[in-house]
Amino acid sequence: MTTLTLGRASIPAKYLPVLVTGCLFVAMFMVGGIRYEGFATGQIILNVFIDNAFLLVMAVGMTFVILTGGIDLSVGSVVALSTMISASLMAGPGWPPYLVVPLVLAIGSGLGLVMGYIVHAFDIQPFIVTLAGMFLARGLCYTIGTDSIPIEDPTFTAFAQTRIDLFADMWISPSVIIALVVVAVAAYVLRYTRFGRSVYATGGSEQSALLMGLPVGRTKITVYTISGFCSALGGVLLSFYMLSGYGLHAVGMELDVIAAVVIGGTLLTGGSGFLLGTVLGVLVLGLIQTIISFEGTLSSWWTKIFIGLLLFVFILLQRLFSARSRR
Amino acid sequence: MTEHILRMSGITKTFPGVKALQDVNLSVRRGEIHAICGENGAGKSTLMKVLSGVYPHGEYEGEITFEGKRCEFRGIRDSEHAGIVIIHQELALSPQLSIAENIFLGNERAKRGVIDWNRTNYEAGELMKRVGLRENPTTPISDIGVGKQQLVEIAKALSKEVKLLILDEPTAALNDDDSAHLLGLLRGLRDEGITCVIISHKLNEVIAIADAVTIIRDGRTIETLDMATDQVTEDRIISGMVGRALDNRFPPHESTIGDEALRIEDWTVYSPSQPGRKVVDGASLTLRRGEIVGLAGLMGAGRTELAMSVFGRTYGVHISGKIFKDGRPIEIRNVQDAIKHGIAYATEDRKRYGLNLIEDIKRNVSAAGLKGLASRGWVNENEEYRVAEEFHRSMNIKAPSVNSVVGKLSGGNQQKVVLSKWILTEPDVLILDEPTRGIDVGAKYEIYTIINRLADEGKAVLVISSELPELLGLCDRIYTLSEGRITGEVPRQEATQEHLMYLMTKGQER
């Protein structure tokens, strides 16, 4: 069964997981709309974007890594480190944001580069390398300070409070625009560049990619660098949102990011997946939270329970999908 | 004297689409060393897997009688319980565990679930003495060489009170001293009453050690020869192994041979896993434009290793030798260099190394030659689609569209995708490693036609194949490789299967 036939149109099997996630999102939105007063508005979806802009950016980086068959556990810690560095540099020496932000992005990318290099050059499993990176970045936060540092820089606070009005009383924050630009650029790169092709080929079969003369090593190093960059940018967006730097920000966030990517239909073994899926994955996670908060009586831990159940379903779905195509 | 310990009769084993074994009969007398000979893919290993229960009863037809009892093994455990132990070519030892632990793995010397280390090491020592292995039983397996590891496998078999020991290519990876020791050991075991079945390509060893030889060809038993009564020579075995006629399975072709395209001189490659073992030893060969050249060799002769070491050093260490392209010396450090110099290599294992099975045809075809479809890193998807469509048509790839996932195509169509991919890189030299492995007859003919067409376009083609008829039907010239050395270069007119097989089994002159 190569395709799923819907009426006359047929959809290649590789789009199937994305389609499922998309349907799930629509279904959840409809259920929410029926159950709760004032749920079925455009602003609810926009709020999901606003609240999860940083998660979306991190998930973009993670998508690159997972597409090559790797994993990056350091993203949550890098986010915390980024908020911490931004807050402390602006609060203490009073650096201006236009210096702080590039510096933070450079640090995140640098960390990713180093991890990618270690993964490639010493042929070590990404799990363990990025686990080390995770501890390292988290630990570095506490060398800067153990307490939460508030951000009072006028540019940052202005950025945090800006509302961009859309039609019909709907609005988004600047972070959403940044996140969507990142998604658009990344989607374009994945689809239309030789680098993007190398990412898919490396994840699909690293050995055959090597024998096709693709730059496997360079690709791997680059995806971890991208992931580091995206985490740092996610950290900057989170500090817009939180207006503080803290070593305990984004604890366990790496797992949320991985969950979003997997629910988005990207194969954890690499080689198959789309950024659109990742966006939908983040939206599904965000919508679960929204529904739980609308429910009111349920504790927020129900979010985790739903995410857990969804992950099970999606992993099983992937298993079926990959078993078929590898037949 | 004629008591048979093992009788296999009418064994037929079918894989989807292929009959691997057809009505095979094998009788082994008690206390003899019985050799099984045949070309690569003749069905020797499959037969041994049937015998040892790797393919459980019910997955094959036919009857196995061992020690007078009918056997219906459901797994390796059953066959080992009956006293049949198989030692595979790839040794099944756990590298981090000690010799003693490996010998008793799955069969631990234990008291109420707790391992008795004194007894383990003592008994291991005794078994090691029997096989002539002088090492400390607590030495990790990874610290001893392959030759000694082979002995550990035999000691392990002895610990299970083996009655019938099966060895699959036991000396393929060993040096001469280790081989000699192993053969001596097998003779000793025979004198102790253990029956051995040995699969080997090294006919001189077979002649030296075996009491009887069964020859298998194309999944059928051809004959069983008794060393004592029949006049068995290497030539006699070879003619049994290859004796079949060529039919018109090959498209007619006249080559127009041009200038030299690729020359390799004194090419030597060492094994990356076994330090000091030469896998390719001083090989030299020349390919000319428009010419189809064959490279014949038995398994383990170093064919793939030679090809891959040339193709961007994707195999081997301490590679030395010279490569000339169009008469000029070139340096190839990686696959990108090889492609830049117009060399392409289609691997023998296309599913693992040749294709990205979860991607579609279009992206597999474009993967190696993407540079030509892109400018400044941006891929021209329309052009990519057009090129893929062109190959879809010209190579007659049977798939609904170029968006079909290659993992779902048949072997022949997958191979056409691999060839398209390399043709797109516009190579001058194509090295095709087992281009028709696992492909049905009709698709083979198509692949041969494509190979001929490539040669007509002035490309040099090197075909590596285990099937001698294929090389004889396709190639203008055939090199033979044996134990890493080029042992012969035979033009098409003079080549016969017997002569090639003789060259392929020729050991190193000592």
SS3 (DSSP) at A282: helix
- CB-CB under 8 Å, A325 with B359: no
Residues B370 and B470 in one domain: no
Q: Is the pLDDT reported for residue B435 higher than 80?
A: yes
Domain that holds residue B496: 258-342+428-439+459-510
Do residue B284 and residue B323 come from a single domain? yes
Q: What angle do CA A246, A248, A254 make, to 5 degrees?
A: 120
8 Å CB contact of A208 and B354: yes
Query: For residue A69, what are the contacts with CB-CB under 8 A and spacing of at least 6?
Result: A202, A203, A206, A269, A270, A271
Strands B212-217 and B33-37: parallel
Contact call for B379 and A327, based on CB within 8 A: no
DSSP-derived letter for residue B98 is B
Query: Do B416 and B503 share a structural domain?
Result: no
- B488 and B355 together in one domain: no
**pLDDT higher than 80, residue B176:** no
Q: Is the pLDDT of residue A5 over 50?
A: no
DSSP letter (8 states) at residue A13: G
> How confident is the model at residue B204, as a pLDDT?
82
Among B210, B242, B274, give the residue marking a domain's end. B242
Structural element, H or E, at residue B165 = strand B164-168
Residues of A in contact with B314 (CB under 8 A): 210-211
Q: Does position B172 have pLDDT exceeding 80, yes or no? A: no
The string over B300-336, giving b where at least 16 C-beta atoms fall within 10 Å of a residue's C-beta and e elsewhere, is bbbbbbbbbbbbbbbbbeeeebebebeeeebebebbb
Phi and psi of B498, rounded to 5°? -65, -45
- What dihedral do alpha carbons A56, A62, A68, A71 form, nearest 10°? -150
Report yes or no on B453 lying in a domain: no
Distance CA B47, CA B35 (A): 13
- B242, B270, B292 - which closes a domain: B242
Domain boundaries, chain A: 42-314
Calculate mean pLDDT across residues A192-207. Answer: 92
Inform me whether the C-beta atom of residue A125 falls under 8 Å from chain B C-beta atoms: no
Residue in A with minimal Cα distance to B373: A194
**A297 in contact with chain B, both atoms CB, cutoff 8 A:** no
What share of residues in chain B are helix, strand, coil (percent, to 5)? 35, 30, 35
Tell me the β-bridge partners of B70. Answer: B65
Flag whether residue A322 sits within 8 Å of chain B, measured between CB atoms: yes
B6 forms beta bridges with B28, B66
User: Hey, are the CB atoms on A212 and B367 less than 8 Å from each other?
Assistant: yes
- DSSP, residue by residue, B24-36: EEEEEETT-EEEE
Same domain as B215, residue B284: no
Rounded Cα distance between B145 and B140, Å, is: 11
Distance CA B277, CA B405 (A): 40
pLDDT digits (tens, 9 = 90+) for B444-463: 888 999 999 999 999 999 99
Residues B219 and B368 in one domain: no
The angle at the Cα of B295, spanning B290 to B298, to the nearest 5 degrees, equals 165
The Cα A99–Cα A97 span in angstroms is 5
| Sequential DSSP letters for B436-459 | TTT--HHHHHHHHHHHHHHHHTT-
ipTM metric: 0.77
The answer to whether residue B248 sits within a structural domain is no
Residue B206 is classified by DSSP as H
Q: What is the pLDDT of residue B236?
A: 82
Q: Which of B335, B366, B404 is nearest residue A213 as measured by Cβ atoms?
A: B335
Q: Is the pLDDT of residue B284 over 60?
A: yes
CATH topology classification for A42-314? ABC transporter involved in vitamin B12 uptake, BtuC (1.10.3470)
Question: Which two three-digit tokens encode residue A5?
Answer: 């036939």
Q: How confident is the model at residue B508 (pLDDT cuts 50, 70, 90)?
A: low
B353/A200 Cβ within 8 A: no
Question: What gap in Å lies between CA B363 and CA B424, rounded to an integer?
Answer: 12
- Which of A2, A196, A325 is closest, CB to CB, to B358? A325
pLDDT at res. A299: 78
When comparing pLDDT for B2 and B189, which is higher?
A: B189
Q: Report the pLDDT value the prediction gives residue A131, as an integer from 0 to 100.
A: 96
Instruction: From chain A, pick out residues whose CB is under 8 angstroms from the CB of B336.
Output: 213, 215
Give the three-class secondary structure for A92.
coil
Whether B291 and B422 map to the same domain: the answer is no
Q: Of all residues in chain A, what percent are helix, strand and coil, respectively (each to 5)? A: 75, 5, 20
What per-residue confidence (pLDDT) applies to A12?
A: 65
Q: How many domains does chain B have?
A: 3
B287 and B138 within one domain: no
The answer to whether residue A208 neighbours chain B at the CB level (below 8 Å) is yes
> Does B250 map to a domain?
no
Question: What is the pLDDT at residue A136?
Answer: 95
Give the Cβ contact number of residue B160 at 10 Å.
17
Residue B388 sits in the same domain as residue B422: yes
Residue with tokens 């004629």: B2
* Domain final residue pick, B175, B207, B242: B242
Please list every residue in chain A whose beta carbon sits closer than 8 Å to the beta carbon of residue B379: 192-194, 196-197
Q: What is the pLDDT of chain A when averaged over all its residues?
A: 88
- Among candidates B416, B430, B261, which has minimal Cα distance to B345? B430
The identity of residue B81, as a single letter, is: H
Over range A120-126, report the average pLDDT. 93
Q: Is A40 on the interface with B (CB under 8 A)?
A: no
Over residues A19-30, the pLDDT tens digits come to: 888 888 898 899
Residue-level pLDDT at A3: 45
Interface-testing mutation among B340, B347, B359, with chain A (most A C-beta atoms within 10 A): B359
pLDDT at A321: 64
Strand B84-87 versus strand B164-168 pairing type: parallel
Instruction: Assess if residue B249 is contained within a domain.
Output: no
Domain presence at residue B446: no
* C-alpha span between B210 and B230 (Å, rounded): 13
Tell me if B335 and A204 make a contact (CB, 8 A cut-off).
Answer: no
Q: What does the alpha-carbon distance between residue A115 and residue A78 come to, in Å, rounded to a whole number? A: 12
What is the structure's pLDDT at B507?
Answer: 66
> Residues B364-397: pLDDT tens digits?
999 888 888 888 888 898 999 999 999 999 998 8
If asked whether residues B10 and B102 sit together in one domain, one would say: yes
Strands (E), B271-311: 278-288, 292-296
Based on the fold, state whether residues B138 and B177 are members of the same structural domain: yes
**Separation of alpha carbons B452 and B473, rounded Å:** 11
Contacts A209 to B, Cβ<8 Å: 356, 367
**Is residue B220, in this structure, part of any structural domain at all?**
yes
Assess whether B270 and B199 both reside in one domain.
no
Distance CA A174, CA A47 (A): 13
Contact assignment for A194 to B339 by CB distance below 8 Å = no
- Rounded mean pLDDT of B136-157? 87
**Mean pLDDT within A105-133:** 95
What percentage of chain B reaches a pLDDT higher than 70? Answer: 96
pLDDT for res B316: 81
Residue B444 lies in a domain: no
Q: What is the pLDDT of residue A4?
A: 47
CB contact under 8 A, B407 and A12: no
What would the two tokens of residue B44 be? Answer: 């020797």
Tens-place pLDDT, residues B294-346: 999 887 788 999 999 999 877 888 889 999 999 999 999 889 999 999 999 99
Dihedral in degrees, nearest 10, Cα atoms A127, A132, A135, A139: -160
In this complex, the residue of B354, B366, B368 whose CB is nearest that of residue A213 is B368
Mean pLDDT of chain B: 87
B180 interfaces chain A, CB cutoff of 8 Å:
no
